[in-house]
Amino acid sequence: MGARIWNPRMRIRVLRAMRLHYTDVFVLPLPEGHRFPMEKYRLLREAVRIHLPDATLVIPDGATDEELLSVHAPGYLDRVIRGTLERAEVRRIGFPWSPGLVERSRRSVGATLAATEVGLDEGVSVNLAGGTHHAFRDRGEGFCVFNDVAVAIETWRGRGRLRRAAVLDLDVHQGNGTAAIFREDPETFTASVHGAANFPFRKERSDLDIALPDGTPDGPYLEAVREAAMQVRDRGRPDVVYYLAGADAFAGDRLGRLGVSKAGLAERDRIVVEALDGIPLVVVMGGGYAEDVHDTVEIHLHSIITAATGVGRPPRPRSPSSLGRRGSPPHGPAHGSPGG
């Protein structure tokens, strides 16, 4: 495991009654040896309980067909639900089809839907999964079935809760599905800082793309992050920002190909939260494939802690109508949540 970026025994006092949404109890069956680190979500939730004892953990409702159809093509949704995807479609997604895949995918989108509602009401919220940015309107790919951020934007826009949205995608892989979905949408600003030579090898056009060469270290990476965050704020003029806090820019990531340290990624989180201060922020995890899964969990946890402790981001009054709307009764404080 690489050097830690904080004291693992430290317990963080959250500056607001932060709500976080998790879905790891909905198991996605994978064959032995599959390279996707599904266990990171459970480990992350357990770490949140320890380090953020005042946070509240919530299991979200699954996204409905109506919500998913705000973005995804009816034929694609039907094939996913019925298990009639073509073999090539399943191969492109990278997960075998199962009823568990459908439920897990609905819940992951539901977590970002719920986090958006809380973020708009209270200033910040987190989905402990999500960031499925490779899903297009009519297909999935790259371990992404439905595009959680796109569905959340279109659903809450349709309900009148937001008009302008922005996506700050700092996963090391370009958010090609998100870019394609919003290519002709002037009210959704998409920004991506990613590896130039990494997957997807055919990139889509975001409103802002900053492509970095293999091995990029902390300095140039953080300059790119700062530029992207400022453009999201100034050009996007968003009512809400979705921050894809991917852990895969880490130098020790198996699929990342950049050279960013843990300290660099911690500084990345600080830059983002400071630059977007005062704008509702929804944090989703994105990718992370470190040789040691605990490195990935540590990086994700730092992103959550930075959002939770904030930089001058005051809590917004919680509207009575929002309490418990999308999800089971809160399981909080976090250290009192049941296992699963």
Closest by CA position to 122, among listed 313, 321, 335, 334:
313
Q: Residue 320 domain-assigned?
A: no
3-state secondary structure 262-311: HHHHHHHHHHHHHHCCCCCEEEECCCCCECCHHHHHHHHHHHHHHHHHCC
Overall average pLDDT of the 176-184 stretch: 98
Overall average pLDDT of the 293-316 stretch: 82
Dihedral, CA of residue 59, residue 36, residue 105 and residue 23, to nearest 10: 0
Q: Which amino acid is at 176?
A: N
pLDDT at 3: 57
Closest by CA position to 149, among listed 173, 175, 170:
175
CATH number for the domain that contains residue 46: 3.40.800.20
Question: If pLDDT is split at 50, 70 and 90, which confidence band does 336 have?
Answer: very low
Closest by CA position to 238, among listed 206, 281, 204:
281
Q: Any residues with CB less than 8 A from the CB of 66 and at least 6 apart, and which?
A: none
Q: Residue 186 domain-assigned?
A: yes
Q: Residue 58 domain-assigned?
A: yes
The CB density around residue 340, as the number of other CB atoms within 10 Å, is 11
Overall average pLDDT of the 177-183 stretch: 98
Q: Residue 265 domain-assigned?
A: yes
Pairing state between β 19-21 and 281-284: unpaired
Overall average pLDDT of the 167-188 stretch: 98
Question: Exposed, middle or buried, 66 (CB in 10 Å: 0-12/13-18/19+)?
Answer: exposed
Whose structure tokens read 């009054």? 317
pTM: 0.90
Q: How many domains does the chain have?
A: 1
Q: Is residue 47 over pLDDT 70?
A: yes
pLDDT at 338: 27
Overall average pLDDT of the 57-81 stretch: 98
Pairing state between β 124-127 and 281-284: parallel
Q: Output the six-digit token pair for 158.
A: 């349709």
Which residues sit opposite 240 in a β-bridge? 165
Instruction: Report pLDDT digits (tens) over 216-257.
Output: 999 999 999 999 999 999 999 999 999 999 999 999 999 999
Q: Any residues with CB less than 8 A from the CB of 201 and at least 6 apart, and which?
A: none
Question: If pLDDT is split at 50, 70 and 90, which confidence band does 319 have?
Answer: very low
pLDDT at 316: 43
Phi, psi torsion values for 242, nearest 5 degrees: -100, 120
Overall average pLDDT of the 185-204 stretch: 97
pLDDT at 309: 87
Residue 200 carries which DSSP code? P
Question: If pLDDT is split at 50, 70 and 90, which confidence band does 61 have?
Answer: very high
Instruction: Report pLDDT digits (tens) over 81-104.
Output: 999 999 999 999 999 999 999 999
Closest by CA position to 145, among listed 244, 240, 72, 254:
72
What is the chain's mean pLDDT, rounded?
A: 90
Q: Residue 57 domain-assigned?
A: yes
Question: If pLDDT is split at 50, 70 and 90, which confidence band does 16 have?
Answer: low
Q: Residue 218 domain-assigned?
A: yes
The answer to whether residues 129 and 147 touch, using CB atoms and an 8 Å cutoff, is no
Overall average pLDDT of the 144-157 stretch: 98
pLDDT at 310: 78
Separation of alpha carbons 18 and 37, rounded Å:
26
pLDDT at 326: 55
Q: Residue 324 domain-assigned?
A: no
Q: Residue 288 domain-assigned?
A: yes
Separation of alpha carbons 172 and 156, rounded Å:
27
Separation of alpha carbons 29 and 104, rounded Å:
10
The answer to whether residues 326 and 113 touch, using CB atoms and an 8 Å cutoff, is yes
Q: Is residue 207 over pLDDT 50?
A: yes
How many helices (H) and strands (E) the chain has is answered by 10, 8
Q: Return the half-sphere exposure (C-beta side, CA atoms, 13 A cut-off) of residue 91.
A: 3
Q: Any residues with CB less than 8 A from the CB of 33 and at least 6 apart, and which?
A: none
Question: If pLDDT is split at 50, 70 and 90, which confidence band does 17 have?
Answer: low
Overall average pLDDT of the 120-126 stretch: 96
Range of the domain at 189: 19-315
Question: If pLDDT is split at 50, 70 and 90, which confidence band does 27 have?
Answer: confident
